[in-house]
């Protein structure tokens, strides 16, 4: 029996393709779960970062979320319009914009605690499987950004 040649250019063999489809698929699971909270998935990620630590500078948020200011700024404006965050210029350096959770944003955290278990349930994977997947994905991210 001859060794089967692997088609390195086959779409199904591409890591980037699997990651892209996985990302779109998981984001689609989040959409109806986040909708009652008035959040998109990118807004949810911003809120997660702020629930972890608030206030924060826009630069700090952008670094943690790996988002450019041009992408992050409209997200923050929409979150402010929704009454979830406040934006305030630093008194010591007017170039620095601080983002803080509003009272409504703080209160939303308790409701949002139901999101992760619902995602786990929708995915139908064990916590061990999801933890291993997350660990592998962080290794991929680290390999893709070795200078960071």
Would the CA dihedral through 47, 51, 55, 56 be positive or negative? negative
d(CA 76, CA 127): 31
Q: Does the pLDDT at position 2 exceed 60?
A: no
For residue range 79-132, list pLDDT tens digits in order: 999 999 999 887 777 787 899 999 999 999 999 999 999 999 999 999 999 999
Model pLDDT, residue 42: 95
Please name each of the domains of the chain with its CATH number.
14-144 (1.10.10.10)
pTM, to two decimals: 0.88
């Amino acid at each position: 029996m001859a060794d089967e040649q692997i088609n390195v250019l086959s779409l199904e063999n591409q890591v980037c393709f699997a990651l892209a489809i996985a990302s779109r698929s998981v984001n689609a699971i989040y959409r109806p779960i986040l909708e009652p909270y008035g959040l998109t998935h990118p807004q949810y990620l911003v809120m997660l970062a702020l629930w972890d630590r608030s206030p924060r500078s826009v630069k700090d948020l952008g670094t943690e979320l790996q988002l450019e200011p041009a992408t992050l700024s409209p997200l923050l404006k929409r979150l402010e319009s929704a009454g979830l965050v406040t934006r305030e210029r630093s008194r010591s350096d007017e170039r620095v914009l601080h983002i803080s959770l509003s009272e409504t944003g703080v209160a939303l955290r308790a409701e949002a605690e139901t999101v992760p278990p619902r995602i786990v349930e929708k995915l139908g994977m064990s916590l061990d499987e999801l933890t291993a997947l997350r660990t592998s994905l962080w290794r991929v991210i680290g390999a893709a950004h070795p200078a960071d």
